[in-house]
Amino acid sequence: MFLENTVNHNEQFGWIEVICGSMFSGKTEELIRRLKRAKFAKQKVEIFKPSIDTRYHEDMVVSHDANEIRSTPVTSASMIRLLAQGCEVVGIDEAQFFDDEIVAVCNDLANSGIRVIIAGLDMDFKGNPFGPMPALMATAEYVTKVHAVCTRTGNLANYSFRKANNNNLVMLGETEEYEPLSRAAYYEAMKQHNVLPNKGGVQEIKSELL
């Protein structure tokens, strides 16, 4: 659990919380919940998201079930360091879309006494670790992995399967382009698309094996 009581209350410090999982797993919903609780406690809160994420609103962080909180779109992680001055709590959504500097930015903020709450996809549509998320999870004090429900089996889902015929790493989308799948369902779906998961993600199936 990420909310633990500290022993030495005289020590001034911050920390990092990461909320990760597949698409439709409730990452942003949990991020918004924690940030609204901080606002209710009258803490100074700032929320940031990558400027490329305009699926629901340009200036709002919005969950799939329409829960929302006002945010500041930024084009790079370095902007967060400048804009977060004087904050007590900083929220960052869709962290996988930021450049690698986001890791240093989050640690700098935490080292200066700020509570940093990050939400992002832990894997891309190929099943590979996504962008800076592995490093953020490694340096965070608290990591919460949330799960969606597999659309094909009803089991817990931790993979984001891309239904659209697009191989670009970054492709914003919703249920028309993506669906959450369990490991078994994801494996079968990837086989049908002539790729197989391996230790590092996916690989093309050799034509002689088809």
* Residues annotated as part of the active site: 94
CA distance 55 to 10: 43
Q: Which of 195, 186, 188 shows the shortest CA–CA distance to 204?
A: 195
Burial (Cβ within 10 Å: 0-12, 13-18, ≥19) of residue 68: middle
Compute the distance between CA of residue 113 and CA of residue 107 in angstroms, rounded to an integer: 10
Q: What angle do CA 83, 96, 104 make, to 5 degrees?
A: 50
| Alpha carbon distance 123, 201 (integer Å) | 9
Neighbouring C-beta atoms of residue 181, cutoff 10 Å:
25
Please give, one letter per residue, the 3-state secondary structure of 141-192.
CEEEEECEECCCCCCEECEEEECCCCCCCCCCCCCCCEEEECHHHHHHHHHH
